Amino acid sequence: MNVKAIRDSYLERCARRRIFDLGDVAVGWGAIFAGCDFFAGYPITPATEIAEFLARELPMAGGRFIQMEDELASMSAVIGAAWGGGKAMTATSGPGFSLMQENIGYAVMTETPCVVVDVQRSGPSTGQATKPAQGDMMQARWGTHGDHEMVALCPNSAQECFDLTIRAFDIARSLRMPVMLMLDGEIGHLRETFDLRSPPRMDLPVPPDPSAAQPFGGEPVPPLVKFGEARYLHVTGSTHKPDGTRDVTTPEVHDALVRRLCRKVEQSRAALKDVEKDIPVDARTVVLCYGAPSRPALAAVADARKQGLKVGLLRLKTVWPFPGDELASLPGSVRTVLVPEMNMGQLSREAERYTDMDVRCISKIGGVTHTRKEILAPILEVG
Amino acid sequence: MVPAGVPISEHPLTRYLRPGTMPSSFCPGCGCGMVLNALLRAVDHLKLDPKEMVMVTGIGCSSWIPSPMFKCDTLHTTHGRAVAFATGVKLMMPGKKVLIVAGDGDLAGIGGNHLVHAAHRNMDLGVIMVNNAIYGMTGGQCSPTTPAGMLSTTTPFGNLDPPMAVSELLASAGANFVARWTTYHVRQLSRSIEELLTGEGFRFLEIISQCPTHFGKDARKEPAEVLEQYRQSSVPFSKDKGTAEAPDEMAMTVGTIADRQGKGYVRRLEQAEARWRGPPVRVDKKEGKI
C-alpha cells in the first residue's frame, strides 16, 4: 500500500469530523489535512501537544515523525525533508524558536517551503515556562539575521488553528519560503470545538513551471523543485545565482537575490492580507488585536458600544506582512488606536509606523490574558 | 592514469563534477583534493548513479568538496547542522544514498550533538569527516581535534585540551561502521568510502588531512613531509587490544574501528510503520471513525 493511498484512506475516514480538543491538537489536524508528511520537533511547553499528536497520527496518515536532539536539529531536518519533497513542519515555543532562527534564515535564503509553529510563552529565557505570552511577534519578523521579509499568521480559536495551519502550508509553497504560525499558549491550550473541513483558500500566486525558470530564479517566485528530479540542484544559504551556484563576492548578485526574496512577499501583500474588521464610519477608537487578547477585546468593544461609544475592532489573522494600509485608511474620525498585547508593545510599535493617530499598547505580561475590563477601561478613558 | 598535458576536462572522473568547478578553490597542498579524488574513485568503482545520491555539507573548507564540485543534488547547510539536515533528506528519500562531507570543527565542534545522536540512532547516513585539526576557513583557530600543546590563533600559548577521539566516540554511540585513515592512505580511503556508500546504518570515516596554510603555522612543513609523517606515525587498529599501543604522542591509529551489522534507522522505522498501520482498513463512510 503506497503512502498516498494510506493518506487518502486516512483523510477519508476523518473528513468532516467535529473535534473537541486543544488549539495545539487543531494545529496537528490542520497539518495532516494540509498534506504534511514530515514533522521534526523537540518537546517544549506549551507546544508539546502538537508533537505528541503528530507522533501518534502522522504515521497513520502516511507521514513521518521524528523527535530530534534539539530545535537546531528539528529545523534542520524540516528543511532537509522539504528538499526531499516533503511538506514539512516543526512546532516549538520561545526558547526553541530562538534556536531555530539561524535555520529559518537558511530557509528564507534557499527558498525552502516549510511551516514553523511557535506557541508563545512568557519570556525572556525560561521565564514563566508554562504561561502564555505574545513576546515573539518581533522575533518572528526579525529573529534571523540579514534583510528579509516574513509571513506570520495568528489564530485566535481552535478552528482558526486548524484553518490557518492549512493556509500556512499553502503560502509556504506558493511563495517558496518558511511561514510562521504564531499561537500563544492561551490559544494552544484552549480546548474548544473545531471541524475538520476545507477552509476557504486564499488567492495566492502559483509558482512557475520548472521549465520556465531556473531553480533559484523566477520573478518573483522560483519554481517548486526538489531533490531526485535529476536537476543536480545546488542548494546553499550562501549568496547564489539563479542556477544555485555560489557567488558571494559580486554585489549585483546579492542585491538581485535578496531584493527578489523581499519582493515576493511585498508583491503578495494584498493576497496575504487577512483581517477581521468591524469599524463604524464614525468610530473614534479602534482596537487593533490578534491572538488570545482579541477574545476579551471583542467583548470589551461590545461593552463600550452598549455605553454609546464609537469603537471599532480590527483583528489581524495575517500579522506579517503587517497590513499597514488598514491603519492608513481608518475613518478620519478615529483618534486613538488601542493595541492589547501580551507583551510590552510589539505590534503597537509597528502600527505607529503607519499612522499619525495616537497608538497605545494595552500591555499585559505575567502569563495571563487581559480581562475584558482591562481592555474596556482604556476604551472608556479615551472616550 | 591520465598522461601529463591532457586537459582536466578529459579526465575520466570529471563526468562526476559540476562544469566550471575546476580548478578548485583549495590552497596548494590541501588534503581536500585527495579526499575528492578518493570519493570520485569510490563512486566510480561502485558505478553509482549520481541521480541516486544526495550530498549534504556544512560550513568549512572540506564542505566545498562536494559543494559545489560533485554533480548531484547537494545541500550546503548551516554550520554544524549537516547531519540533522541529512536526517530529514534521508527520511523523505530513503532510497537515496545520502553522504555528508564536512570538517572536524563543523561535525565534532559546533555540530557534535547531531553527530552523536545520528550515530546513536544508527541513521542511514554516510559521513566523511575531513579532520585537519584546525578551523581552516576562518584562518587557523583551535578545533576539538587540535592536539594538546599545539599553537593556533586562539591558543597562542598552546592548546590546553587533548584532541577529541571522535571515531571512538561514535563507535561507542552505536555507529555501524567507523574507520580512520589519513590522506596518505589513498587506496584505503577509497575502499572505506565504498563502505560508507554500501551498507546500512550510520557509517563514518575520519580522514586525517593536512592544512598546509593554517595547521602548525609556526612550524610549517611541506605537504609531502606531512604525508610522510602520517605514514610513519600511523598504527593499525588492533581488535584484540581495542586500540593500538601508541609509540609516541603523535601516533594515530588507522583502520576500521567498528563494523557491525545493526539494523539501520530506516529499516527499523519501515518495519515499525507496517506494524503500526496494520492491514488496510475498510472505510465505513456512515461511521466515519478512525
pLDDT in tens, A322-364: 999 999 999 999 999 999 999 999 999 999 999 999 999 999 9
Q: In this model, does residue B289 exceed pLDDT 60?
A: no
Write the CB contacts of B287 (distance below 8 Å, at least 6 apart in sequence).
none
Cβ neighbour number for residue B203 with a 10 Å cutoff: 30
Cα B249-B254-B259 angle, rounded to 5 deg? 135
B46: distance to nearest CA of chain A, Å?
Answer: 19
Query: pLDDT tens-digit profile of A223-260?
Result: 999 999 999 999 999 999 999 999 999 999 999 999 99
pTM, rounded to two decimals: 0.96
Q: In this model, does residue B90 exceed pLDDT 50?
A: yes
A85: distance to nearest CA of chain B, Å?
Answer: 7
The three-state (H, E, C) secondary structure of chain B, written as one string: CCCCCCCHHHCHHHHHECCCCCCCCCCCCCCHHHHHHHHHHHHHHHCCCHHHEEEEECCCHHHHCCCCCECCEEEECCCCCHHHHHHHHHHHCCCCEEEEEEEHHHHHHHCHHHHHHHHHHCCCCEEEEEECCCECCCCCECCCCCCCCCCECCECCCCCCCCCCHHHHHHHHCCCEEEEEECCCHHHHHHHHHHHHHCCCCEEEEEECCCCCCCCHHHCCCHHHHHHHHHHHEEECCCCCCCCCCCCCCCEEEEEEEECCCCCHHHHHHHHHHHHHCCCCCCCCCCCCC
Task: Supply the pLDDT for residue B290.
Answer: 47
Most A-contacting residue of B89, B267, B269 (CB-CB within 10 A), to test interface:
B89
Q: In whole angstroms, what is the distance from residue A72 CA to residue A282 CA?
A: 50
Among candidates B97, B166, B174, which has minimal Cα distance to B129? B166
In A135-212, DSSP assigns E strands to 151-153, 178-184, 191-195
Task: Supply the pLDDT for residue A118.
Answer: 98
Q: Respond yes or no on whether ipTM tops 0.90.
A: yes
pLDDT (mean) for A300-308: 98
Considering only alpha carbons, which residue of chain A is nearest residue B53? A228
Strand partners of residue B17:
B70
Give the DSSP H or E segment for A75: helix A71-83
Determine contact, residues B182/B254, Cβ cutoff 8 Å.
yes
For residue A118, the one-letter residue type is D
Lowest mean pLDDT among A19-23, A34-38, B225-229: B225-229
Nearest to A38 among B50, B54, B91 (CB): B91
Lowest mean pLDDT among A55-69, A198-212, A304-318, B114-128: A198-212
Nearest to B89 among A73, A227, A246 (CB): A227
Q: In this model, does residue B152 exceed pLDDT 60?
A: yes
C-alpha cell at A131: 504561561
Q: Give the Å distances, CA to CA, from B37 to B13, B16, B33, B187.
A: 9, 11, 6, 10
- Confidence band (pLDDT; 50, 70, 90) for A119? very high
- Confidence band (pLDDT; 50, 70, 90) for A372? very high
- Confidence band (pLDDT; 50, 70, 90) for B245? low
Task: Supply the pLDDT for residue B250.
Answer: 62
Give the DSSP H or E segment for A340: strand A336-341
B31: distance to nearest CA of chain A, Å?
Answer: 22
Mean pLDDT for all residues in chain A: 97
- Reduced to 3 states, what is the DSSP secondary structure of residue A246? strand
A43: distance to nearest CA of chain B, Å?
Answer: 16
- B183, with CB counted inside 10 A (0-12, 13-18, 19+), is buried
Q: Is A228 on the interface with B (CB under 8 A)?
A: yes
- The answer to whether the CB atoms of B117 and A68 lie below 8 A apart is yes
Task: Supply the pLDDT for residue B11.
Answer: 85
Chain B neighbours among A 240-279 (CB < 8 Å)?
245-246
